[in-house]
Structure formats: structure tokens, C-alpha cells
Amino acid sequence: MFIAHLPAGYLLTTWLQKKFNSTKFLWLGLLASVFPDVDLIYFYLIDHRQTLHHHYFTHLPLVWLALWLLIALPCIIFKKRTALAITTIIFANIILHFVLDSFVGGIAWLYPFSDYNLFLATVPATHNFWVWSFIFHWTFLVELTIVVWAIMLLFRNISRKNSAKYL
């Protein structure tokens, strides 16, 4: 996905914050929703696009699941609700990133047990500039839907916040 990671992160974090009865961690959710793509720096500057960046450790769900368990279990055992909220918001957004990448980018969900990359759809090269092939593929409508949904929720939340000032 190109443009939906951050808006999807906004949608998920807004929902999770309601579950945890907290509104302090939106920025963490937004950062986590795009964090796996930090590997693009390595991909372009060091690896020179030799290995698909979805094959780097930052795009391996089982690595993140193991890390979440290592952090979340003590939070649950010692009843650290705020720490559990932060941990869950961060890791849920990272997993959401992989779900979105699975549409057309492919994610090895079971690596190291299997190196099979799950794709929900394949984008054929229909244009000389590869970005156009993605933009004119049906999956881009999914991205646009997520973006519009997030914008509508954002405006609704801003409107509610502004109207609450005058009550």
C-alpha cells in the first residue's frame, strides 16, 4: 500500500484508545503504523534495491509477535494497564501495516517456518512507470476508501472537540 498506512493507523488507534479509555497515545499509533517501512532507508541507500524490503526483519510478523509477547505478558501479570495500552497500540499498528502490505506487497507471515509471501492480489505492470500500475489497480480504491474514512473520522473528532469547548 502507498497512502493508507497512516490513515489506517489513525482509525485503529482511535478505536484502541476507546477500548483502553485513553486519548494520549495517538502519535505512537501513527508512528507505529508506518514504522516497518523504515527499512526503505536501507533498501534505497545501502542495499540498492537488491532485496525486496518486505523480506527484511522489520517486515516479519512473527518477530513482532514474539517481541509483543515479551513485553505484554509482564504488563498483564503485573497489571500495568498503561504500559499494556501503549504496547498493544504500537504492535497492533505494526501488524495492521503487514495486513495492508499483504494486499499487493506480499508478507511472509510464517517466516522462519515458511518463506511463502501472502499476496491477496497481484498488480500487473500495465504502465511504464510502476507507480501508475498501482494507482490504476482496483486495490488502490481500497486505499482511497481507508483515507476517506480516516478523514471523515478526523473531522468528526475535531468537530466534537471544538463543540465540547463551548458546553
Grid coordinates belonging to 75: 504488563
Grid coordinates belonging to 89: 497500540
pTM: 0.92
* Cα-to-chain-centroid distance, residue 88: 13
Q: In the chain, how many domains are there? A: 1
pLDDT tens for the 167 residues of the chain, in order: 889 999 999 999 999 999 998 889 999 999 999 999 999 998 899 888 888 788 889 999 999 999 999 999 999 999 999 999 999 999 999 999 999 999 998 999 999 999 999 999 999 999 999 899 999 999 999 999 999 999 999 999 999 887 665 55
What range defines the domain where residue 158 resides? 4-164
- Report d(CA 66, CA 135) in Å as an integer: 34
Residue 136: CB atoms within 10 A of its CB come to: 11
Grid coordinates belonging to 34: 508506518
Q: Smallest Cα–Cα separation from 43: which of 103, 122, 105, 87?
A: 105
- Report d(CA 113, CA 65) in Å as an integer: 14
Q: Is 107 helix (H, G, I), strand (E, B) or coil?
A: strand
Give phi and psi for 23, each to the nearest 5.
-125, 20
